[in-house]
Amino acid sequence: MISLPGLALVTGRYEVAARILRTFAHFVDEGMLPNRFPDEGQTPEYNTVDATLWYFEAVRAYYAATGDKSLLGDVFPVLSDIIEWHRRGTRYQIHLDPSDGLLYAGEPGVQLTWMDAKVGNWVVTPRIGKPVEINALWYNALRVMADFARHLERKRDLYDRMADQAQSGFARFWNEETDYCYDVLDGPDGDDPTLRPNQLFPVSLPHSPLTQEQGRAVVDACARHLLTSHGLRSLAPDDPAYVGQYGGGQRGRDGAYHQGTVWSWLIGPFVSAHLRVYGDPEMARSFLRPLFQHLVDHGLGSVSEIFDGDPPFAARGCLAQAWGVAELLRAWQETEELARIGAKV
């Protein structure tokens, strides 16, 4: 779902995008999309909280690019059912907290967010509670549903009310002491102030629950501590849990995966967030150029999955990674579109 806009929409392959969106709609179960399709004849696996919410954004991007009201009408009941399942609760304690309008997710031994490394029984970054990017996606999904309902001439009041509550509740994420967002609220050990790139999504998604001033503070913090030439670190270097090099056996590699390792795909949300708060397409485009140079120095013609968090940021992991390629394409197109209209904050 993260890769679809860059790989299928930016490239004009709208029929491919439509087939993907329709196919996944058939596999929604208890309000969740599968995060893995095993070999033929086996049951899909449902252990992700964010993939389902990214589906809303993929449909939104598809509709914005094509105006295909037929597909929108076909998947709207599925999307509505997903919202209902999240309201009343589904697998792994994924449920809406009626007190603040935010989504809670997680239980011991399960990894549900994109930071999903697990070695044996060790979940490296469990993030049980209310993760910041999950609730940014939830708020975005509710606003998107209200827009979809308007396009289809259906009732939107419920989605507007839920979005308003989620926006109010999201204010809890703001950490006045650090001047950026908590990574997780209401976890087993309370609120987690760890600086991670997940807080970029409340700024980069089309519907943001943060103020312009807060969004700029988030971008500045991520630029100071997480931004590298090839993506963003998954953890700030001054954190005691930071691991600057990805290597060794499986335990060592997975232990570093989301504890400092640089992810190429995160350059996309960083660029989108930077564009939103600074409105400078040339500056935003400068963050992408090193990855274009990278196209000829590792997996030729493609973008690597990850890089070391420490200089010289050696390429690691997959030689070619779908969401790294996709987000590079999507973000570049976004800078070009903004440059054409000459928009400024």
The pLDDT tens digits of the residues spanning 310-322 come to: 999 999 999 999 9
Q: For residue 338, what pLDDT is reported?
A: 86
pLDDT of residue 336 exceeding 80, the answer is yes
pLDDT of residue 120 exceeding 70, the answer is yes
Domains of the chain: 1-204 (1.50.10.10), 226-345 (no CATH)
Q: For residue 42, what pLDDT is reported?
A: 80
pLDDT of residue 43 exceeding 90, the answer is no
Which has the minimum average pLDDT: 7-16, 74-83, 109-118, 188-197? 109-118
Work out the end-to-end distance of the chain between its first and last CA atoms, rounded to an integer number of angstroms: 29
Q: For residue 341, what pLDDT is reported?
A: 82
pLDDT of residue 297 exceeding 90, the answer is no
Strands 174-175 and 190-192: unpaired
Cross-strand bridge partners of residue 102: 97
DSSP 107: -
pLDDT of residue 345 exceeding 80, the answer is no
Q: For residue 98, what pLDDT is reported?
A: 97
Tokens 């239980």 correspond to: 107
Distances in Å between the Cα of 112 and the Cα atoms of 47, 91, 123, 214 are 6, 10, 10, 27
**Helix or strand or coil: residue 10?**
coil
Strands 95-97 and 130-131: unpaired
Q: For residue 300, what pLDDT is reported?
A: 86
Instruction: State yes or no: cis peptide before 98, omega within 30 of 0.
Output: no
* pLDDT tens sequence across 141-190: 999 999 999 999 999 999 999 999 999 999 999 999 999 999 999 999 99
Which has the minimum average pLDDT: 37-46, 48-57, 111-120, 211-220? 37-46
User: How far, in Å, CA of 53 to CA of 260, rounded?
Assistant: 25
Distances in Å between the Cα of 169 and the Cα atoms of 97, 102, 129 are 10, 6, 14
User: How far, in Å, CA of 135 to CA of 174, rounded?
Assistant: 13
What tokens were used for 92?
A: 């792994």
Mean pLDDT to the nearest integer, 252-275: 97
Tokens 């973008």 correspond to: 303
What tokens were used for 200?
A: 């970029």
Q: For residue 343, what pLDDT is reported?
A: 56
